[in-house]
Structure 1
Amino acid sequence: MGKALMVLGTSSGAGKSLLVTALCRILSKRGYDVVPFKSQNMSLNSAPSIEGGEISRAQYLQAIACGKRPSVRFNPILLKPEGGMRSQVVFMGKPMGSVSARDYMLSRKEELFRKAMKVLDGLKEEHDLVVIEGAGSPVEINLKDYDIANTRVMLHAKARGLLVTDIDRGGSFASIVGTMELLRPEEREAIMGFVFNRFRGDASLLKPGLDYLEERYGKPTLGVIPYTEHRLPEEDSLAEFPKAKGELHIQIIKLPHISNFTDFEPLHWANGVDYVTRPEELKGDVIIVPGSKNTVEDLLWMRENGFDDALREAHREGSFVVGVCGGFQMLGKVIIDEVESRRGAVKGIGLLPARTVFERTKRTNHLRAEILWKPALGMGVEGYEIRFGRSFSRRPFSVIREVNGARTFEPEGAVGERAFGTYIHGIFHNFAFTGRFLNLIRKERGLEPVSVERWSIEEEIDRFAEVVERNLDVDRILSELGL
């Protein structure tokens, strides 16, 4: 039977996801058979698994860090918020329906928790180590009795725990003390030590506080991780994107149900990028309509708030418009939806020659495609799709050549006048394509062409993991785990 290590946080955004990612890479490189696990994740950033189901982007990244193919077993329960205190429940990669927060807590949660723990037991039997990520804070008094992602998992797995806090926010010592005081004795006993994340400055200045924690709880601080710039996605946090200024101005409409905004990470590093919340702000060189968890409702929100008229006006004034997944569907002529919103035929924004019909079967696949859009004609790209709809256009953006490794031939997306739309999530992570696209816009603006800096997720994981390993007592963690 393998071991389990759990990473808990004093709050949401403490850095649990990336610490788990780093630990997965560090321990895998040391020769251990490691897999990640999070019993329940609430996220609109998702990705396809090897089984064809849907998992959180965080566990997808952690699987890559372990050298494993992403599996639904690493994130058995995924909640996708829909607004109005409702979420779509995805179990083992497959949608189970939409429920209110109250109904989920009272009727579904315990059954799904038991099933998730069977999955965790199986992972422990098959691997040397399972690195488990918690969710939010483990001691929220109003939620603790319903919490199936934190200490209940830790105790079930007989895991040792790390408690991580974000010192850059301030109040980290108080957060650790408050968390420890609210843990039950058996939960507190399972914690092996503390990790301070995103520290700026001289770590020796923390000594009085670290000594206090060890004296009070008999637990050491096992790491002080310095603040580190990186290109790894911070789960569900638009605020974490760098506020870069560049010669090109790229705007992304911040939809109420925006999803998979990690699609646009490569654009942030050499361009001015901002998320737009008011229609009068639309005037960028490029305007992107992103993916959405509730496409038709977000389209109607755009219409009610004047975004559709403002977008068409910006397009007439010279903005290049791009739609990805739900954003592509919105830019078409019509969406017929009897599945998600059940609103029937809804008029689109009309910048792309496409018609979309929602289907009941959700497509979650890895893709390889060939671009048909003239400025990048013949270029190969890869990414993934997560969608209900099927769209039809006489001017497709690309042709899908492979689905999950199987050869196919399927046109997708659409091309309009100074606009295109695609179902390919991750399209801008294809740096040759991104360079071609951005330099087209730069040329129109009278700017010199530039080379798009190429980087890979693997390289970024390695770089971040090296920082963590230098500043974390990994040997002591392994010793505590009996490895």
Structure 2
Amino acid sequence: MKGVMIQGTSSDVGKSLIATAICRMVANEGIKVAPFKSQNMSNNSYVTVDGKEIGRAQGIQAEAARTVATVWMNPILLKPRSDLQSEVVLLGEASTTLSGRGYREQFYEEGICVIQKSLDYLQSHYEMTIMEGAGSPVEINLKDRELVNMKVAEMADVPVILVADIDRGGVFASIIGTLALFSEEERSRVKGIIINKFRGDPTLFEDGVQWLKEKTGIPVLGVLPFIHNHMIEGEDSLSIREKRFTTTKAVIDLAVVNNRYMSNFTDIEPFFLEEDVSIRLINKGEDLGNPDAVIIPGTKSTIDDWKEMKRKGLASQLKSYYKQGGRVIGLCGGYQMLCTTLKDPQGADTGSRGEEIEGLGLIPASTTFEKKKETIRVEGSYHPSTKLASERIEGYEIHLGKTEYASIDDRCPFLLLHNSREEGYYREDGRLIGTYMHHLFYNDAFRHTWLNQIRVQKGMMKRKRLFIQEQKDKRFDALAHEMKKHLNWEKLWNILQAGD
């Protein structure tokens, strides 16, 4: 197989970002290229066109590669439900829930089979594959049954590029230590080293490059700069960040509830491109203040996160904030929390049958969690009762719960989907919104209208609509261009072409 696997000396060294950039570089060469990560652990998922669920990073890398994301690009997705258990999503569909030990003991052989099947598919449909490892490839307690690093590189028979993060310190020790812990065969597969997140003048690291080459015999393919504000969506909670300004009348203050099991936090990413929007993460009641709006994002454990919000005083503060005229949007799990009652008769959300708890009570509905997960791409328009302009809106749903209203009089639908299904809740000209639709704020018309409502309320000037997809594509090109300047592209290209 032609391609490469990007491995790192540890987590969060920039593997996903580098793989994304290489996908775009290769696509720019006219090559049909696919991203691949055999096993991803993230509550930040991406729904494919056929309604299947994969890791968000591989969905974004597919966009960078100018191809359509499929389950073959991330056949195994682990979605943590607690510190001890994760849901196993196999080829895009929820399969089972296992502990870490249970996963290693029960799933390994099945995992190997589905990974091989995925590699075979990609090899037959693409000219090149850019693969990504996970964490460190030399975790000694896990190496014998790992499904994501050197074992997969061996199965695909691709070379490996080792990435190290110089910003965190200890870059020489992390590289030499990782190489020392490889077997001789594994080490021979490493064909290049990339130093990532360098701040300052790279000529000051020339001696370091020479030292690494002499000590390892492996070429350093580049020293990449610390790229600020690249705006390529992150993969997991390590990538969550705030965008804050000094609070003034000319800035929209958005507070985002930072729940422990937050999922699909990329729902808020479009706001990072809006120049007058400040994003801050809140964890407890005293963090709330008086923002222009509060967003409660999705969560993998709605009831557990809701209990934590109540314990930290955030629930009561949110209720008071809304009653005093505040704006609240609940997405997926956040929508469920806004309801009157949350019921878990089968233990689908908590793992404990029969649990029932009062929600925030702002939406007159009851949410019941079910075993079968809803994973679907959806499109439609705003419900006529919202009196919003007739604009097409699209996104996707990933949820276990079903939200029902006691009577038709309680319903205030937000969306009318293409199958004539009424969805969500919209009240007081959008001061309260609940919806299962992820990707809501990627709909430029909705985000533009919603923000301009806030701007007018604050006495700010309205702004022109920002087109996110155009911005995203420009940023893929900008990222690829910036990284390529600091890479030995000729050597990297030869490594990529070396496969069968």
Give TM class, smaller chain. Answer: over 0.9
- Structure 2 unaligned blocks of 5 or more: 406-410
Q: Which residue of 2 aligns with 1:280?
A: 286
2:459 aligned residue (429, 442, 446)? 446
Structure 1: distance between partners of 2:125 and 2:464: 45
Measure how far apart 1:120 and its partner are: 1.3
Structure 1: distance between partners of 2:240 and 2:482: 19
Structure 2: distance between partners of 1:352 and 1:416: 9
465-474 vs 55-64, which deviates more?
465-474
Measure how far apart 1:306 and its partner are: 2.6
Q: Is the 8 A contact 2:301 2:349 kept in 1?
A: yes
Measure how far apart 1:160 and its partner are: 0.5
2:338 aligned residue (318, 331, 338)? 331
Superimposed CA distance per residue, residues 113-155 of structure 1 (whole angstroms, 9 cap, x where no aligned partner): 2321232133223322111100011112222223211111112
1:264 is aligned to 2:276: no
Superimposed CA distance per residue, residues 300-359 of structure 1 (whole angstroms, 9 cap, x where no aligned partner): 222333322111011123321110011011101223333333445432211123333334
Q: Is the 8 A contact 1:79 1:89 kept in 2?
A: yes
Q: Would the alpha carbon gap of residues 238 and 415 (structure 1) be closer, same or farther in structure 2, given more than 3 Å must change?
A: farther
- The one-letter code sitting in structure 2 at the alignment partner of 1:271 is V
Structure 2: distance between partners of 1:481 and 1:439: 47
- Secondary structure in 2 matching 1:168: coil
Counterparts of residues 175-254 of structure 1 (less than 5 Å): 175-228=174-227, 229-237=229-237, 239-245=239-245, 247-254=251-258
Structure 2: distance between partners of 1:395 and 1:180: 60
Q: Is the 8 A contact 2:37 2:131 kept in 1?
A: yes
Measure how far apart 1:442 and its partner are: 2.4
2:477 aligned residue (462, 466, 469)? 462
- The one-letter code sitting in structure 2 at the alignment partner of 1:470 is K
- Secondary structure in 1 matching 2:361: coil
1:340 is aligned to 2:349: yes
Q: Would the alpha carbon gap of residues 49 and 453 (structure 1) be closer, same or farther in structure 2, given more than 3 Å must change?
A: closer
Counterparts of residues 128-139 of structure 1 (less than 5 Å): 128-139=127-138
- Secondary structure in 1 matching 2:379: strand
Q: Is the 8 A contact 1:363 1:388 kept in 2?
A: yes
Q: Which residue of 2 aligns with 1:422?
A: 435
Structure 1: distance between partners of 2:77 and 2:238: 20
Aligned residues: 476
Structure 1: distance between partners of 2:462 and 2:212: 54
Measure how far apart 1:452 and its partner are: 5.1
Measure how far apart 1:249 and its partner are: 1.4
Q: Is the 8 A contact 1:251 1:286 kept in 2?
A: yes
TM-score calculated relative to the size of structure 2: 0.90
Q: Is the 8 A contact 1:443 1:449 kept in 2?
A: yes
Structure 1: distance between partners of 2:157 and 2:166: 28
- Percent identity of equivalent pairs: 38
Structure 1: distance between partners of 2:207 and 2:307: 55
Structure 2: distance between partners of 1:350 and 1:391: 13
Q: Which residue of 2 aligns with 1:404?
A: none
Measure how far apart 1:458 and its partner are: 2.1
- Secondary structure in 2 matching 1:196: strand
Counterparts of residues 164-175 of structure 1 (less than 5 Å): 164-175=163-174
Measure how far apart 1:239 and its partner are: 4.9
TM-score calculated relative to the size of structure 1: 0.93
Q: Which residue of 1 aligns with 2:408?
A: none
Q: Which residue of 2 aligns with 1:473?
A: 488
Measure how far apart 1:475 and its partner are: 2.3
1:299 is aligned to 2:306: yes
Q: Is the 8 A contact 2:380 2:394 kept in 1?
A: yes
- The one-letter code sitting in structure 2 at the alignment partner of 1:274 is R
Q: Is the 8 A contact 1:35 1:74 kept in 2?
A: yes
Structure 1: distance between partners of 2:172 and 2:463: 46
Q: Which residue of 2 aligns with 1:405?
A: none
334-343 vs 31-40, which deviates more?
334-343
- The one-letter code sitting in structure 2 at the alignment partner of 1:293 is K
- Structure 1 unaligned blocks of 5 or more: 402-407
Measure how far apart 1:196 and its partner are: 1.5
Cα RMSD of the aligned pairs, angstroms, is 1.9
- The one-letter code sitting in structure 2 at the alignment partner of 1:445 is K
Q: Is the 8 A contact 1:391 1:412 kept in 2?
A: no
Q: Which residue of 2 aligns with 1:391?
A: 403
Measure how far apart 1:395 and its partner are: 0.4
- The one-letter code sitting in structure 2 at the alignment partner of 1:221 is V
- Secondary structure in 2 matching 1:376: coil
Q: Is the 8 A contact 1:351 1:416 kept in 2?
A: no
- Secondary structure in 2 matching 1:22: helix
- Secondary structure in 1 matching 2:449: helix
Superimposed CA distance per residue, residues 57-80 of structure 1 (whole angstroms, 9 cap, x where no aligned partner): 001111112222111111111100
